[in-house]
Amino acid sequence: MAENRINRELDTRDKNVRKKAWMRPETLPSPIFQDGYAYRWVRVSNQGQTDATNVSSKLREGWEPCRAKDHPEITMVTIEQERFKDNVVIGGLMLCKAPQEMLDERTEYFQQQTDSQMRSVDNNLMRESDPRMPMFNERKSKVTFGKGT
């Protein structure tokens, strides 16, 4: 009876493996992230026209272009402009990175701007308030879920 057995090492499970479902490929591939950096795709051209204003503003903000040799995982790189020939450019977008601390400072700056504007609106609203008919300033939202039937 032992002679009829198949050696387990020869037995494969290929027949039992499910076929992988087709998935739409990413339009913009994700780079392998480095600790301490954030990545962003920056527009360098739109409909064949270069967008120098956008690129220069992002570079002044602190974004630096990623070099193609630093990201070999992104294989479908097209060179659209001579200026960015060593960078990762796909479909008019260039991959850039910036230190995470800089982005945190930027987020904090804009949060302070937003808070300042909201205080200004609140002060203006409360200035118009009349004690006989006060205005209420509730900036709270509430999420509720329906009761299934």
Tell me the per-residue pLDDT of 37-70, one tens digit each, with 9 for 90 and over: 999 999 988 887 888 899 999 999 999 998 888 8
In this structure, how many other beta carbons lie within 10 angstroms of the beta carbon of residue 70? 16
Quote the pLDDT of residue 138: 67
Q: State whether residue 147 is helix, strand or coil.
A: coil
* 143 pLDDT higher than 90: no
DSSP per residue over 78-138, as a string? ----GGGTTB-EETTEEEEEEEHHHHHHHHHHHHHHHHHHHHHHHHHHHHT-BTTBPPP--
Per-residue pLDDT tens digits for 107-130: 999 999 999 998 888 888 777 777
Residue found by looking up tokens 């949060």 in the block? 111
* 105 pLDDT higher than 70: yes
**Candidate from 2-16, 33-47, 64-78, 130-144 with smallest mean pLDDT:** 2-16
Sign of CA dihedral 49, 97, 41, 104: negative
pLDDT grade, residue 9 (50/70/90)? Answer: low
Task: Give how far Cα 2 sits from Cα of 9, 12, 70, 103, Å.
Answer: 16, 20, 57, 68
Quote the pLDDT of residue 56: 92
| Of 91, 45, 95, the residue nearest 68 (C-alpha) | 95
Task: Give how far Cα 142 sits from Cα of 95, 111, 121, 139, 148, Å.
Answer: 38, 22, 22, 10, 19
* 134 pLDDT higher than 70: no
Would you kindly state where each structural domain of the chain is located, as residue ranges? Answer: 32-122
Quote the pLDDT of residue 17: 66
CA distance 26 to 28: 5
Quote the pLDDT of residue 78: 55
Structure tokens at 140: 């709270």
